[in-house]
Amino acid sequence: MTDEQRPPGEQSTPDTEQTTGAPGSPVGPSAAPAGETQAAAVKDAGSGGAHDPSQADGTTEAAPAATGHARASDRASDHSEHERGAANALLRTDGVVAGYVPGVNILNGCDFYVDDGELVGIIGPNGAGKSTLLKAIFGLIKVSEGAITLRGENITGLKANELVAKGVGFVPQTNNVFPSLTIEENLEMGVFQSPKKFKQSFEFVTGLFPALGDRRSQRAGSLSGGERQMVAMGRALMMEPSVLLLDEPSAGLSPALQDEVFVRTRQINRAGVSVIMVEQNARRCLQICDRGYVLDQGRNAYTASGKDLINDPKVIELYLGTLAKA
């Protein structure tokens, strides 16, 4: 079996991460689909997304200095607000501390929750720990303190394949399709733990993304970046998850395709799937999400409805960048 054919979790992962056998795990560089390099350096947080395509030109905008932390004195009230809000959460993290190297914490006590049916966005500067939070939730890195809870059950430390079986789906930031496999085979990989689900899940997914059904025999490697993103989402949806974790689904896509991703994400959410969406296109993300979190240095610096965050002068100044004022 070549690296491309192997389920993502069986491919090489950074030494510091746990290896999993679940779909959607980070994959080694050998499986990187051509032309889908991560636009990590192109963080157009304030570029206006589909509503302002003239500014989504791929210019690199330095991430604002990470000075937007809530003060220590604000922490207690933030935490009690989190406690109140998260009382009936579908999935929550409480004071999660995690990192890749012993003694170097990337997440520094992260409180987060998503309710049933919600679409929650996570934005923040490069290196803030957004991807790390998703990896911690999905059991790909060790949580040293705090807890992750799904429907009241402590799922901290469970492996990705166990989480998939419990209804958590994950679409990683990069390398999220098997290029040498067809669309249909990619979707089959999504249910490799429960092959009997294939028929029903295929109908569910192609109902949401009809193009995937129409082009089921096409190799994923020959698809555009946007189409591949649909395959990756489709694969994660094959297990009909109750919550879907999306890591920068619009990264590296043209403004038109970015818009398609946001529309599809909303559609997935309306189909009853709760969504946690990390996004570099912060403005567009906040426009479509029910609630948003600004993550900074491994902590949630701000939390509010997407609408409130997008209009918050502090958030604009510190995280949405100068373009957001235009």
Ligand X SMILES: Nc1ncnc2c1ncn2[C@@H]1O[C@H](COP(=O)(O)OP(=O)(O)OP(=O)(O)O)[C@@H](O)[C@H]1O
Q: Which letter, b or e, does each residue of 204-222 get, where b requires 16 or more Cβ atoms within 10 Å of its Cβ? A: ebbebbeebbebeebbbbe
Distance between CA atoms of residues 213 and 217, nearest Å: 9
Q: Closer to Mg ion at the Cβ: 130 or 299?
A: 130
Minimum distance from CB of 298 to ligand X (Å)? Answer: 8
In the list ligand X, Mg ion, none, the entry touching 275 (Cβ below 5 to 8 angstroms by class) is none
Burial (Cβ within 10 Å: 0-12, 13-18, ≥19) of residue 73: exposed
Report if residue 40 touches ligand X, rule: CB under 6 A.
Answer: yes
Contacts 24+ apart (CB under 8 A), 103-109: 105/144, 105/298, 106/132, 106/298, 107/132, 107/133, 107/136, 107/298, 107/299, 108/297, 108/298, 108/299, 109/145, 109/146, 109/298, 109/299
Other Cβ atoms within 10 Å of 263 Cβ, number: 12
Main-chain phi, psi angles of 299, to 5 degrees:
-135, 155
Binding segment for ligand X among 124-132, 180-188, 213-221, 305-313 (CB under 6 A)? 124-132
Binding segment for Mg ion among 68-76, 101-109, 127-135, 316-324 (CB under 5 A)? 127-135
Report if residue 127 touches ligand X, rule: CB under 6 A.
Answer: yes
Please pick, from the candidates 126, 194, 267, 305, the single residue that binds ligand X as defined by CB under 6 A: 126
Please pick, from the candidates 23, 46, 129, 252, the single residue that binds ligand X as defined by CB under 6 A: 129
Burial (Cβ within 10 Å: 0-12, 13-18, ≥19) of residue 110: buried
Q: Closer to Mg ion at the Cβ: 50 or 251?
A: 251
Please pick, from the candidates 13, 20, 25, 131, the single residue that binds Mg ion as defined by CB under 5 A: 131
Which ranges of 25-179 does DSSP label H, i.e. alpha helix? 72-85, 130-137, 160-165
Minimum distance from CB of 123 to Mg ion (Å)? Answer: 11
**Restricting to residues 251-270, which ones interact with ligand X according to CB under 6 A?**
none
Report if residue 130 touches ligand X, rule: CB under 6 A.
Answer: yes
In the list ligand X, Mg ion, none, the entry touching 59 (Cβ below 5 to 8 angstroms by class) is none
Size of the site for ligand X (CB under 6 A): 16
**Restricting to residues 77-106, which ones interact with ligand X according to CB under 6 A?**
100-101, 106
Residue type, 164: V
Report if residue 281 touches Mg ion, rule: CB under 5 A.
Answer: no
Report the phi/psi class of residue 103: left, alpha or beta, with left for phi > 0 and alpha for psi in -120 to 50. left
Extended beta strands in 160-282, E state:
168-171, 243-247, 274-278
Please pick, from the candidates 27, 98, 128, 288, the single residue that binds ligand X as defined by CB under 6 A: 128
Please pick, from the candidates 11, 20, 25, 132, the single residue that binds ligand X as defined by CB under 6 A: 132
Binding segment for Mg ion among 85-93, 122-130, 151-159, 235-243 (CB under 5 A)? 122-130
3-state secondary structure at position 295: strand
In the list Mg ion, ligand X, none, the entry touching 226 (Cβ below 5 to 8 angstroms by class) is none
Binding segment for Mg ion among 22-30, 104-112, 126-134, 181-189 (CB under 5 A)? 126-134
Sheet holding 107-114, edge to edge: 107-114, 91-98, 143-150, 153-154
Binding segment for Mg ion among 9-17, 130-138, 147-155, 192-200 (CB under 5 A)? 130-138
- Can you give the binding site for ligand X, defined by CB under 6 A? 14, 16-17, 40, 43, 100-101, 106, 124, 126-132
- Can you give the binding site for Mg ion, defined by CB under 5 A? 130-131
